[in-house]
Amino acid sequence: MGFNSYSYIILLLIALLLHHALPWRHGRWALLIASYIFYGAAKPWYCFLLLFTTLVNYLAAIGIHKNKEQYLKKLMLFLCVFANIGILIIFKYSNFIIVNINAVLSVAHREPLGFFNIILPVGISFYTFQSLSYTIDVYRNKLSPIKDFMHLALYVAYFPQLVAGPIERAGHLLPQLSAKQRVTIQDIEEGFQRVLIGLVKKLVLADRLALMVNDVYTKPAGESGLVLAVATFAFAFQIYLDFSGYTDIALGSARLMGVHLSPNFNWPYLIKNPVEFWSRWHMTLTSWFRDYVYRPLGGTMRSRPWRTFLNQMVLMVLIGLWHGASWNFVVFGLINGIYIALYHRWRLAVGRNYPRLSKKYKWLGPFLLIAGFLHINFIMIFFRSANLGVAWQVISGIFRNGWIWPAKYSLQLYIVLALIFVHIFKEKFAALFKKIKSPAVVRAAFWAFLILCIVYGAVEYTEKFIYFQF
């Protein structure tokens, strides 16, 4: 069930009604049932997977907490991580691994292995990581294990953020779900507005950009360089609006229940260096990898630059692979890793002179922003392309295929230009947004405007949310 469907609106309304009308404890159960209905709507067996993940983490956390011996705690954690990541590997990466084994076997003229007939359950990467963070935090003594299984089940399956994040930490979300939250009128207004904004981002803008991007990236060879370049910009905005639209709907839906989820985006295309992107884009995933992978690996070690480089590359390749099982995403991660490592080396070389240099070369700011935006677009080519061959066709086509502009894509070009404009004048737009908050009639007019945008502007055959596939 997607957020961009009537079914979701009905489910959300029923869940809200039950949540507010029933006594608190029963309201929690209603939310849990709604979450399982939400997840099992496409394939009911997904629910068993979700339940299994919850059960494993529940038992592991209790086991870790109860056992005094360190080696037993470690063993419990290892088994739990093994079970969680094992499921993820089976469902998400097994066929990718087989493809690569078969490539090796074919060189040795051996019989290839058969593929698994597996459908990737939506959002498996999200809830696996979220539930793992709970168990790891218990292991690190940051949290006490939760006794009420229902609360943990709700934390893992909480439907507004189940299938595409934000990847919440138990320390942030569990207390909100396991204690009664006061829902204010402000929560309801903010939540409602956020849902509407999310729907406009997804249905009107992202899906409309997708009409061009899908066509161009299916057959890039025949397109002109200008079309390929604009399609790449369009994809960068499509994926941002798609994912941030989803996140807005998630945050808004949770807010209607008085729950505050973590923000996931902060103008990710307004960056002056490659590190900044990952602190603004899918922030909850980056912080997850930082806390549970990068730091345990050793993080940044001033005395051992090669080890730092290796950690950064491992981190970025894992982030790349998290997005999908293909070499594209490995390359996507590697390029990011190289950029970040180079930037890191430069920062270390500059050392204490950095504040002075950044002041002196302040005028370079706009150029760095443009360079940052182009850098993101470059890595997005690997994200969008079906394989490395397509990515190469796009990159080479931009420079080789001439710069003819077919007018049929003009609407998408205008949307891209408008979005660049919004990014440039983001402060002005933010100020305008603040003004909308005041009189009730202005706010209602703004909401009515958003509703009209959805009624008249939504693309009929809407795309699935891109991040659902992860």
Partner 1 sequence: MARAVRRILQSPFGWLILIILILEAFAAIKVPYARQPKASTVYRNPTPHRGWPEYIKGQKGPHRKLVIIISNSQGIGWESARPESLYTAELEKEFALLNIPVEIENWSNGGITTPDIELLSFKAIQRKPDLLLFILGYNNFDFPPQLYLDYSPSDINLLAGEPSFWPYLKDTTFFKNTTFDDIMRRFLLIHSALARSRIALYDALAEHIPLEYHKYIFGHSREPLIRLDEALERRPRSRPLPPPKHILELANLALPALPVENMRQRLETFNIFYPMLNKRLSKNHIPFIWVWMPVASEVFPRESKRVMRVFEIETGKLIHNSTAKYIDLTYALPGKYFYMLNHLDEDGHKALSKILLPIIKDGLQ
Task: Using CB under 8 A, list all residues that contact partner 1.
Answer: 5-7, 10, 185, 189, 192, 207-208, 211-212, 215, 407-412, 440-441, 443-445, 447-448, 451-452, 455-456, 459-461
Cβ atoms of 283 and 264 closer than 8 Å: yes
Cβ atoms of 183 and 380 closer than 8 Å: no
At residue 272's C-alpha, the angle toward residues 416 and 236, to 5°, is 30
- Among residues 205, 230, 212, 206, the alpha carbon closest in space to that of 394 is found at 230
- Pick between residue 298 and residue 406 the one whose CB is nearest to partner 1: 406
- Pick between residue 7 and residue 266 the one whose CB is nearest to partner 1: 7
- Among residues 380, 30, 398, 47, the alpha carbon closest in space to that of 235 is found at 380
- Pick between residue 5 and residue 144 the one whose CB is nearest to partner 1: 5
Catalytic residue among 323, 344, 375, 423: 323
- Pick between residue 427 and residue 460 the one whose CB is nearest to partner 1: 460
CA atoms within 13 A on the CB side of 379: 24
The whole-angstrom separation of Cα 199 and Cα 411 is 19
Distances (CA, A) of 291 to 299, 337, 340: 9, 17, 17
| Backbone φ and ψ of 22, nearest 5° | -80, 160
Minimum gap (Å) between residue 426 Cβ and partner 1:
24
Minimum gap (Å) between residue 470 Cβ and partner 1:
23
Q: 323 catalytic, yes or no? A: yes
Minimum gap (Å) between residue 386 Cβ and partner 1:
21
Distances (CA, A) of 206 to 170, 191, 199, 384: 31, 21, 10, 14
44 CA to centre of own chain:
24
Minimum gap (Å) between residue 6 Cβ and partner 1:
4
Minimum gap (Å) between residue 9 Cβ and partner 1:
8
- Pick between residue 378 and residue 447 the one whose CB is nearest to partner 1: 447
3-state secondary structure of 45: coil
Minimum gap (Å) between residue 443 Cβ and partner 1:
4
What lies within 8 Å, CB to CB, of 289 at 6+ separation is 315, 318, 319, 322
Burial category of 312 from C-beta neighbours within 10 Å (exposed 0-12, middle 13-18, buried 19 and up): buried
Minimum gap (Å) between residue 27 Cβ and partner 1:
22
- Pick between residue 108 and residue 440 the one whose CB is nearest to partner 1: 440
Extended beta strands in 311-444, E state: none
Here the tokens at position 90 are 């089976």
- Pick between residue 135 and residue 193 the one whose CB is nearest to partner 1: 193
The whole-angstrom separation of Cα 201 and Cα 213 is 16
DSSP conformation letters of 45-109: THHHHHHHHHHHHHHHHHHHHH---HHHHHHHHHHHHHHHHHHHIIIIIHHHHHHHHHHHHHHTT
User: Amino acid identity, residue 73?
Assistant: K
- Among residues 128, 122, 154, 173, the alpha carbon closest in space to that of 3 is found at 122
Minimum gap (Å) between residue 215 Cβ and partner 1:
8
Distances (CA, A) of 112 to 147, 184, 428: 48, 60, 59
Minimum gap (Å) between residue 191 Cβ and partner 1:
12
What lies within 8 Å, CB to CB, of 31 at 6+ separation is 15, 18, 19, 154, 158, 159, 257
The whole-angstrom separation of Cα 434 and Cα 373 is 27
- Pick between residue 374 and residue 411 the one whose CB is nearest to partner 1: 411
- Pick between residue 131 and residue 412 the one whose CB is nearest to partner 1: 412
The whole-angstrom separation of Cα 466 and Cα 383 is 11
Residues with catalytic function: 323
